[in-house]
Amino acid sequence: MALDGINTIEGVNGKEITVVDSGYDNSKMSNDDFLKVLLTDLQWQDPLEAKDISQFIENTVKLREMEVLNDFQSTIETLKKANESNALVYASSLIGKKILYEGNQTYIKDGKGTAKFSLESNADIVEVTLLDSQGNVVERKSFQNLQAGKEYPFEINNNSLEDGYYTVYVNAKSGGTEVKAKVYSYANVESVEKDNDQIFVSFGNNKVELNKVSQIGG
């Protein structure tokens, strides 16, 4: 069956001749059609002025590569959308569960709670402060000679604290120079949402990206 842009006519000697339109997209040809066109071109060219077919082959290969790449990109986009949908379904299973995430809002219940922190480099002295929703200091602890890369717990046990979320602030120094710290807090997931292709878990007045969650339960 003839393709659009490729036709077969009968020559003067009765043989069929394949004619290809000048603007035909080579990438649409099957392997058999490609070889037919190539062999026909070689058959009818002047032996004294033989064409260089390398450019023809190169252009066809490039078009094929572009076609394959476009198909691949389309497949990736489809998989990406499916993955995002699956991520939202997965995140919804976290509703009502306790999580540990990278962030400084930790949940206190019955005066008890826990947070964790790690340091970017060694620190001589570290002061961890717990603030309520009004910014008041309700708990403070000091640590000395802590190592980089290790997780240290910050335990809270204060019956005067109301249930809710509190801010954990870490101030670490080494020889008077500030040392960066990461804080990990516990929260109870209340809802999940998708915003700008990102999945978030929400609790209290906060929301964090799903990839910030490092532990479920505990």
Using pLDDT thresholds of 50, 70 and 90, give the confidence band for residue 19.
low
**Percent of the chain topping pLDDT 90:** 48
Q: Are residues 209 and 122 in the same domain?
A: yes
Length of the chain: 218
CA dist 95 and 200 (Å) reads 11
Q: Are residues 66 and 128 in the same domain?
A: no
Domain that holds residue 147: 98-216
Bridge partners, residue 130, by sequence:
139, 168
* Average pLDDT score over residue span 82-86: 63
Q: Are residues 108 and 177 in the same domain?
A: yes
Supply φ then ψ for residue 159, to 5 degrees. -65, -15
Lowest model confidence (mean pLDDT) among 102-106, 125-129, 203-207: 203-207
* Average pLDDT score over residue span 118-147: 96
- Which of 91, 110, 138 is the endpoint of a domain? 91
The pLDDT of residue 122 is 97
The pLDDT of residue 69 is 64
Q: Are residues 87 and 188 in the same domain?
A: no
* Average pLDDT score over residue span 108-121: 96
The pLDDT of residue 92 is 84
Best-predicted range by mean pLDDT (8-12, 55-59, 171-175): 171-175
Q: Are residues 44 and 135 in the same domain?
A: no
Q: Are residues 195 and 152 in the same domain?
A: yes
Q: Are residues 86 and 124 in the same domain?
A: no
Is the pLDDT assigned to residue 207 strictly greater than 80? Answer: yes
* Average pLDDT score over residue span 144-165: 96
Q: Are residues 50 and 121 in the same domain?
A: no
CA dist 172 and 155 (Å) reads 17
The pLDDT of residue 15 is 58
Domain assignment present for residue 206? The answer is: yes
Specify the number of domains making up the chain: 2
Domain assignment present for residue 1? The answer is: no
Q: Are residues 102 and 204 in the same domain?
A: yes
- Which of 91, 126, 152 is the endpoint of a domain? 91
Using pLDDT thresholds of 50, 70 and 90, give the confidence band for residue 37.
low
Q: Are residues 104 and 212 in the same domain?
A: yes
Using pLDDT thresholds of 50, 70 and 90, give the confidence band for residue 164.
very high
- Which of 37, 69, 91 is the endpoint of a domain? 91
Domain assignment present for residue 145? The answer is: yes
Q: Are residues 112 and 86 in the same domain?
A: no
- Which of 96, 112, 73 is closest to 217 using CA atoms? 96
Tens digits of residue pLDDT in 50-77: 455 566 666 566 666 666 666 656 655 6
Is the pLDDT assigned to residue 168 strictly greater than 90? Answer: yes
Residue with tokens 């959308």: 81
Q: Is the pTM of this model over 0.85?
A: no
The pLDDT of residue 105 is 96
